[in-house]
């Protein structure tokens, strides 16, 4: 008959593997549902698009202002050179208005040019963000296919492992089941520790020769590490 400690050790090895598989499964599921790379790229594109829209609106306003000043200057120059205004004071005021309009138009045209350059830069940034999003989406599609494949393999191994665990568990006496579950809950999932060369391989404690002898000779009894309290299973 296989020693009780040996059966519990096999169960422990299987449980540790199942714990790791469940952790990996949960991580894969989370990653599949929460792709931050694409989300960040999408946010950056939205921000770049809004910046481009704002730059375009600012340029259109400046362009419209230049056109208004240009139209007004054309009208005032037409009046100035038409001979309609003969009063010296009115003529002087009109000349000053024309000069003022020319200065304002020059400033408005300079501002429009500046805003046009800003619009071109914003458009370049928007296109770069669009390209970055497309690249992120393509990379995500590749990663997602790999993760889905890995997830399927992990879930298949989990199903097989859980079936084997059910068989191992059913073959254990109730007292051993209770002790194993109790220790698993208290010892961070590790109820059974390997023992080699008189040392507990989990906590590293040196074991007395009496404890080592009992652990090696035990069949239906369980021997515990005096230091960490885990079930000992001799590996040598």
Q: Please write the tens of the pLDDT for every residue from 14-68.
A: 999 999 999 999 999 999 998 889 999 999 999 999 999 999 999 999 999 999 9
Q: What percent of the chain has pLDDT over 70?
A: 99
Asked if residue 103 belongs to a domain, the reply is: yes
Instruction: Output the CA angle 31-33-35, nearest 5 degrees.
Output: 60
Indicate the SS3 state at residue 35: coil
Instruction: Tell me the residue range of the domain where 139 lies.
Output: 35-170
Q: What confidence tier does 201 reach under pLDDT thresholds 50, 70, 90?
A: very high
Report pTM: 0.70
Indicate the SS3 state at residue 3: coil
Q: Say what the pLDDT of residue 1 is.
A: 41
Asked if residue 133 belongs to a domain, the reply is: yes
62 vs 57: CA distance, rounded Å: 9
Whether residues 97 and 162 share a domain: the answer is yes
Q: Answer yes or no: are the C-beta atoms of 55 and 119 closer than 8 Å.
A: yes
Mark which of 119, 141, 170 sits at the end of a domain: 170
Whether residues 154 and 221 share a domain: the answer is no
Mark which of 134, 152, 170 sits at the end of a domain: 170
Residue 98 belongs to a domain with what CATH number? 1.10.287.1700
Q: Which residues contact 135 (CB under 8 A, 6 or more apart)?
A: 41
């Amino acid at each position: 008959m296989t020693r009780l400690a040996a059966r519990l050790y096999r169960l422990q090895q299987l449980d540790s593997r199942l714990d790791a598989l469940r952790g990996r499964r949960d991580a894969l599921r989370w990653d599949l549902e929460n792709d931050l790379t694409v989300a960040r790229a999408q946010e950056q594109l939205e921000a770049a698009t809004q910046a481009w829209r704002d730059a375009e609106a600012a340029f259109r306003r400046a362009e419209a202002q230049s056109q208004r000043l240009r139209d007004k200057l054309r009208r005032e120059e037409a009046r100035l050179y038409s001979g309609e205004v003969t009063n010296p004071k009115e003529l002087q005021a009109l000349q000053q208005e024309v000069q003022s309009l020319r200065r304002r138009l020059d400033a408005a045209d300079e501002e429009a040019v500046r805003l046009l350059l800003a619009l071109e830069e914003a458009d370049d940034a928007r296109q770069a963000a669009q390209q970055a999003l497309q690249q992120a989406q393509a990379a995500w599609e590749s990663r997602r296919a790999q993760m889905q494949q890995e997830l399927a393999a992990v879930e298949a191994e989990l199903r097989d492992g859980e079936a084997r665990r059910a068989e191992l568990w059913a073959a254990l006496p109730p007292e051993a089941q209770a002790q194993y579950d109790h220790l698993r809950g208290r010892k961070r999932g590790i109820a059974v520790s390997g023992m080699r060369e008189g040392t507990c391989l989990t906590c590293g404690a040196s074991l007395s020769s009496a404890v080592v002898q009992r652990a090696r000779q035990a069949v239906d009894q369980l021997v515990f590490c005096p230091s960490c309290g885990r079930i000992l299973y001799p590996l040598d």
